[in-house]
Structure 1
């Protein structure tokens, strides 16, 4: 029989301590064969124990610890003859396959037709087919990959949902900070991109694997490994706009680091306030409540409003330092993440407040300037002790300091008189703590997990108000006041759980949890004694969770759980307690690998904070006062119902996802308002109406026969709440909608591509009691063109957008936004000309906005960021 596989001897003999079976697969012309199937089969049982593919260089590697020799190695490929050979040890081998002599053209055509190859739970993108060389950063690549997108917060999404892990050569290096990768990794650094739909991290224990986590793995080109490299970028131009960016990195197999320095005044945020808040929340008590179904609602300190402004600003200067370090040795790993961000920002608003109780409207001119410094430092150590045991400890230090200086011209329209205020706020916050995790596989059927968390938070909030008139609204004979508000919190929690396998299709989760939180709120100011107070609030919680999981067959699975919780509270040594039961259930149906449905229900408790129990008055701003609380402790349970469905067919470039969530609180903590011309008094109360409905839809289709793609994303929400204004029950209904539709071309030749679409935003608030409606709509159609010319040395792109606004009572001008980029590549240098919003290069740009709360609706004309034109140069080394 003709020999179909010729395999040549080893590169060199391996000694007994060889750790991996490595090889290379070539054709008869000595060219590497990528995507050849590599399979290991037990010699006696014929059972497959390993499956993979060769990389673009035709290479493969298999960990010898998982192999029982002798074993059969099977190599297959659509375009080559298959063969099976017996392997007796971990040798390094060189393999040559013979080509098939029939149907070769048809097989090659079939091989090249797919943009995405799906293998079990992994999607591999064919970058050579999908990209055309016009991409300059990872974000440009992701925008061309079916099923992947980047949202407005810089987060990478797969099939409409944010990915759980961003991996660099298999290591969870960037954590949740996706923009650090998307803005700094370049195409020449990237060898492959793949989606892992059932990612198992280092903590996974065999037989008790985590499921459902999604990861995006960025495979690096060998030329960018174990080398010190980086990029320096400088740009500046008209209206003194500038950006300086330095990025250095060294991505090795065991050691990886990335240092990023950035300063700019073009509104480019490397690390946003939302990133900061998300990290801060995830490191606290949330880590103990992930598997219990509980929803801990603890009020954060009041942050200055200017931190959350984006485009509605007059000017912003950002300074940022970000450092990532990862060291992995065998089954031990150390990760360190550090970021320091400073923002200087100023803005101007001119707004009219319409109070729902029918009191006179207020016209407000507000000039805000602010400085914010926030920092996060996280050190994590992981140790996979053996195949049965895992340990990790995560320590963190977080702080921020925010200064907001406001000048407010406040005018009651019916009286015509104006009062000017200077409203200055300084907020400081420190948070430090740790959390640990330990896993131990006690037997093939029992897994033990234990968690311990402790953290300390300290917040100081200093407010100064100066008025052109006496502050009689605060019972003062002066035209100025100061207030100092201090908050301290100590949290300690422990959780233990057992996973018990009943049989191959069902398991039982048993969990015990105990937490203790001590909070102190102290208020001092220059006013009367009633404004000076100290509140001590202590919470102790003990709970037991029982959850049953069952897989009926390959299509159906379900789980049902119940959480028994005992809560004890102490408010200034006055004790209270309650007992609550929280059920949960979920049911999933997967009729095929492309289609699935899920229905989920859980009841969650809403917790109290010391702010809601304060026994004194707190001034919020120049006209808002929070009165002392009259709440008594009651158990509050939220009912949450969710429906998910998704359909994806990667080989046809079809991806879609639908999520509908409904939340209902029979009773919730809300506020009542006592409002007059000069002062709004707030007080925490219980409300008997609090409902919300969310719907998210994502759909994408890319055609194979024509270079055209289409995607749509829709986010809709409706809230309905009841509160009291001047002792009258008011019902507010708020609806918000965002719809984005885009069609774009994928011409393989990179000299021209286009995209067109539109974004629709709407917000509507109805006060059903007072019959007052305020609404805001924005329509933004756009056209975008890009390509490469002059032998691919010059890249160009331009985008034209029309912003059309509609508000319920304010006339708004349309805005034509034109931006462009012209870039010339010269080896390690890039020279570019960048324009943003070039028809609005001025200092007095404005846009309209609308703000709602439960007392009034406010329509405002807000300063908007000026356009600019910059000339830049970047150098890679």
Structure 2
């Protein structure tokens, strides 16, 4: 008993010491006569406007605010009270006393009816949502709530957009913890831990550039509640089901000022791909900026792709993922981030398909059955050092990727059986360095360097040998082996200088990049007596490729109160040399390019703007366009080239209108775009019922594309519902060369979508989404070939509370497909889920059944230009799962 008393006394003394040991920021609130004012709200806000601490003045007007640390220089101390005008002062010394003088202000009070209705607040370029206004008791993660917020859209792959524009970053309390792979954040961070979801328009993460901000990016920032920053939180899930199913998950999170992390380990075989957490949603934009074009993989098994269903309905998998994301802040300006993950997966896929390609004089068709066992793996180690201060910016990003991939595939093509083994092994190491320095003149100097080394050996083995008439003089043989290697070294380096003058910014850049590659490829045939020999001397590549680019660029920005304009004038000198002595290839190319672009944004009102853009781009192809030796890309595709390097000249123009009334929660966006690409080469395909052969030939042609989109989102206060609607139109005109027929093709797709997420009562929620798309393809020839495809997809969910802490979810998905030459396809999937919350134990018990109708096959129709493919996929049937989730 004495020991217990001692522990209590010690704990009390420690608590007393901690409280009274904190630094106190002191001052007094006065009126203009110098008299102290009582009960005034005094708040301390950081440089981003977030409340750090607060208190009220006492009867004499004195106040004191406790500080967790003394790093509050340049923070604002703000005082406000009814009947007075708000005032604020900037903190420059934590040891001095601050006097806040309030002036009398008029009070105009309107009649207010309190309905506890959701509201948004706006502060400059930042829009603040309160998650608690949109969440219900069944929402677990912040991602569940984002889907309900008007103006915000979450795609099936987790990609988040605001009013039609994809977000560039998801910050957690202002920090970029997840580096564009933010799915794990939206899935794991509890919605109850988030105080505000901030939409930051014109997001500029580099501090020194915020004064002259020319950014047009949109980002989300999750502002966490104070209590969510005090301890490690997370959840653990254990699940088992039938037939032979498991689902396990462990997540731990911490979000304090010095250390932030989201660490997760998970595994399942219920069709949920853990690899979706590794999706980099802006990866294509990143690759364009790097300017390092290289084929991602030359070989494949020629699989038919995946059905038009949510992945969890068709995927047979057994997968595990370790995903570690840790960020440590040395101080407010310097941080180190480590993102590490390893994914292991085993997948199976079975399907059969029938394909037709319509040509003016014939129809090429084939049938296929394929059974695939796929083993993808991904390993990444990424380390980022970031210094972000008012006078300098330092960013160094080191990445190592190792991606082994193996597929075993049993196939039957036109009743001929065969077996494939595909092995791919990519090792990619890169380092990206950027340093900016603000000079005394406020001009900014920037050094940038990117280094990359990639190796990607591949092999494809096929047994027995196929297409003997083409590959073995008509004689039966045992098999084929295709080997390729494509090691690539690349560097990009530049120096830039930015000058500022009032609302104008000029940036001048000069640099160079070098890409060195060697394509080594051989195609061997295995005879029945086990001898191995080249298919022919034309099936070998030993191609050396060197691409050098020297460039300079002038970029001019004007940022006014309403008008923002960017004009870019890049000039480049491009030199390419490539040589393959075995194929009598030794060529070079020199080009000088001017690729101007212009972007304009005009603020028609504080919340609305119109935008316009134009660009002209000259582009050159890569090593994949010039190798002459034949490569067996998959079991039915032989590719080669007989043309110079592909060159394109692309004119692009676009315009948009973004409209919002944030306080009424109405968001509308309309965008249009048109591009005309002139090409100097075309792919010529020779098609038979068994194989396709492609040769790239020199032939001038155009690809013209038109797109129109319009979307709207609105919160209906009286019905406590978020509704959305949209329409999109896309059209392409291009030429296709097949069996010596040059086919001008026109493709049109129009898509309509609508949805609602409603709170019917305090204990019933309902959602509904529908998408209807129409695709038309036709060849603009005398004997025109036309194909038409229509598809309607509907999804609905009903969730309600039956008795205390018992929640029921019912959901259904309907898919209807119509194609004039095929029978209509109708599918209805239904799921049910019951959850019981044990509040005292912080545990949820959950029982669910997916695919109640036990559908085990799914028929699909696909259109592509003048081709029609119908296929049948085998999918998981009914699955029942029992889970226990413990929250801590």
TM-score bracket, normalised by the shorter chain, equals: 0.7 to 0.9
CA shift digits 1:773-806 (9 cap, x unpaired): 3333221234321133433x12222122322111
TM-score by length of 2: 0.85
- Partner of residue 755 from structure 2, selected from 728, 733, 742: 742
- Alignment partner of 1:816 is 2:828: yes
- Partner of residue 547 from structure 2, selected from 519, 539, 550: 539
- Alignment partner of 1:699 is 2:695: no
Counterpart mapping for 1:683-762 below 5 A? 683-685=695-697, 686-746=699-759, 750-762=762-774
Of 574-583 and 126-135, more deviation after overlay is shown by 126-135
Structure 1 CA distance, aligned partners of 2:494 and 2:330? 29
Structure 1 CA distance, aligned partners of 2:173 and 2:290? 30
Structure 1 CA distance, aligned partners of 2:177 and 2:800? 32
Q: Is the 8 A contact 1:13 1:91 kept in 2?
A: no
- Partner of residue 786 from structure 1, selected from 791, 799, 818: 799
CA 1:308 to 1:150, structure 2 compared with 1: closer, same or farther past 3 Å? farther
Of 668-677 and 375-384, more deviation after overlay is shown by 668-677
Q: Is the 8 A contact 1:81 1:97 kept in 2?
A: no
- Partner of residue 669 from structure 2, selected from 644, 657, 661: 657
Q: Is the 8 A contact 1:421 1:622 kept in 2?
A: no
Structure 2 CA distance, aligned partners of 1:23 and 1:165? 41
Counterpart of 2:625 in structure 1 is 612
Which SS does the other structure have where 2:663 is aligned?
Answer: helix
Q: Is the 8 A contact 1:374 1:399 kept in 2?
A: yes
- Alignment partner of 1:593 is 2:584: no
Deviation (angstroms), 1:246: 1.1
Structure 2 CA distance, aligned partners of 1:768 and 1:427? 41
Counterpart of 2:181 in structure 1 is 177
Counterpart of 1:454 in structure 2 is 451
Counterpart of 2:488 in structure 1 is 489
Structure 2 CA distance, aligned partners of 1:766 and 1:615? 33
Counterpart mapping for 1:462-481 below 5 A? 462-467=459-464, 471-475=468-472, 477=475, 478-481=477-480
Structure 2 CA distance, aligned partners of 1:283 and 1:273? 18
CA shift digits 1:728-780 (9 cap, x unpaired): 21123333444321123235x53112223312234443343463333332212
- Partner of residue 128 from structure 2, selected from 124, 129, 135: 124
Aligned length: 822
Q: Is the 8 A contact 1:698 1:711 kept in 2?
A: yes
Q: Is the 8 A contact 2:520 2:541 kept in 1?
A: yes
Counterpart mapping for 1:333-372 below 5 A? 333-357=335-359, 358-372=362-376
Which SS does the other structure have where 2:409 is aligned?
Answer: strand
- Alignment partner of 1:528 is 2:515: no
CA shift digits 1:516-568 (9 cap, x unpaired): 001111112322222122111110011111222234x5233323232211110
Structure 2 CA distance, aligned partners of 1:459 and 1:140? 39
Deviation (angstroms), 1:831: 0.3
Structure 2 CA distance, aligned partners of 1:646 and 1:287? 26
- Alignment partner of 1:667 is 2:718: no
Structure 1 CA distance, aligned partners of 2:865 and 2:484? 24
Counterpart of 2:145 in structure 1 is 141
Counterpart of 1:500 in structure 2 is 499
CA 1:85 to 1:816, structure 2 compared with 1: closer, same or farther past 3 Å? closer
- Partner of residue 409 from structure 1, selected from 409, 412, 427: 412
Counterpart of 1:860 in structure 2 is 871
Which SS does the other structure have where 2:238 is aligned?
Answer: strand
- Alignment partner of 1:550 is 2:558: yes
Structure 1 CA distance, aligned partners of 2:795 and 2:261? 39
CA 1:487 to 1:57, structure 2 compared with 1: closer, same or farther past 3 Å? farther
Deviation (angstroms), 1:328: 0.9
CA shift digits 1:217-247 (9 cap, x unpaired): 1122333325233311122223223211111
Counterpart of 2:15 in structure 1 is none
Structure 1 CA distance, aligned partners of 2:737 and 2:689? 17
Q: Is the 8 A contact 2:522 2:631 kept in 1?
A: no
- Partner of residue 218 from structure 1, selected from 215, 218, 222: 222
Deviation (angstroms), 1:849: 3.0
Counterpart of 1:442 in structure 2 is 439
Deviation (angstroms), 1:460: 1.3
TM-score by length of 1: 0.86
- Alignment partner of 1:832 is 2:838: no
CA 1:312 to 1:692, structure 2 compared with 1: closer, same or farther past 3 Å? farther
Structure 1: gaps spanning 5 or more residues: 1-10, 25-29, 41-48, 290-295, 412-417
Structure 1 CA distance, aligned partners of 2:264 and 2:540? 45
Structure 1 CA distance, aligned partners of 2:39 and 2:627? 74
Which SS does the other structure have where 1:405 is aligned?
Answer: strand
Counterpart of 1:152 in structure 2 is 156
Q: Is the 8 A contact 1:580 1:635 kept in 2?
A: no
Counterpart of 1:300 in structure 2 is 296
Structure 2: gaps spanning 5 or more residues: 1-18, 30-37, 57-64, 525-534, 580-585
- Partner of residue 575 from structure 1, selected from 584, 588, 605: 588
Q: Is the 8 A contact 2:181 2:277 kept in 1?
A: no
Which SS does the other structure have where 1:578 is aligned?
Answer: strand
CA 1:688 to 1:779, structure 2 compared with 1: closer, same or farther past 3 Å? same
Deviation (angstroms), 1:469: 6.2
Structure 2 CA distance, aligned partners of 1:512 and 1:22? 53
Q: Is the 8 A contact 1:578 1:634 kept in 2?
A: no
Structure 1 CA distance, aligned partners of 2:567 and 2:100? 54
- Two-structure CA RMSD over aligned residues (Å): 3.6
Counterpart of 1:415 in structure 2 is none
Deviation (angstroms), 1:90: 2.6
Which SS does the other structure have where 1:705 is aligned?
Answer: coil
Deviation (angstroms), 1:84: 5.4
Q: Is the 8 A contact 2:467 2:690 kept in 1?
A: no
Structure 2 CA distance, aligned partners of 1:312 and 1:406? 22
CA 1:146 to 1:50, structure 2 compared with 1: closer, same or farther past 3 Å? closer
